[in-house]
Amino acid sequence: MRWLAPIMLFLALLGATPAFAVQPDEILKDPVLEARARALSQELRCMVCQNQSIDDSDAPLARDLRILVRERLVAGDSDAQLTDFLVARYGEFVLLRPRLSWHTALLWSAPFVVVLIGAIGFVAAGRRARVAGAEHLSPEEEARVAALIERIE
């Protein structure tokens, strides 16, 4: 009986699929435009949920943005024009992956700076350990260590 629960959990997780918040009335009839809309909406941040794309969010603002994306695509906007329009309207924060520019340089360079600081810390700690290990024992300390080692053996 104890084996039944893990099997049931495994089967339940096996059938799990990601849930998207896109409503049936939002879906475009043209599959090419719908694919573009879905790809774009996965790159846009929900301003309410913040760490969720508008494709995954069921917040009213995310729904409005999904509809806006589809309207602009039907009107003939390119992906770049639509992205520029949304950035002009909501700021760079609307993009889940902000563009590389002078005001996002710190954001993009932060992981490299953290790794560099960590590497410098490891090198400094290694040098400190070597310098601390370079100290020699006095003859009395060496005799005492030898006596302790003999006692252990």
Q: What confidence tens digit (pLDDT) does each residue in 64-82 have?
A: 898 899 999 899 889 899 9
Domain co-membership, 73 together with 120: no
Residue 13 lies in a domain: no
Residue 1 lies in a domain: no
Domain co-membership, 50 together with 74: yes
Backbone phi and psi for residue 45, each to the nearest 5 degrees, phi listed first? -85, 135
Domain of 124, in residue numbers: 105-152
Domain co-membership, 55 together with 80: yes
Residue 4 lies in a domain: no
What is the count of structural domains for the chain?
Answer: 2
Is-contact 75 118, C-beta < 8 A?
no
Give the pLDDT confidence score for residue 133 in this predicted structure: 57
Tens of pLDDT, residue by residue over 30-52, are 788 888 988 998 899 988 887 88
Domain co-membership, 24 together with 85: yes
Closest CA to 125 of 136, 135, 133: 133
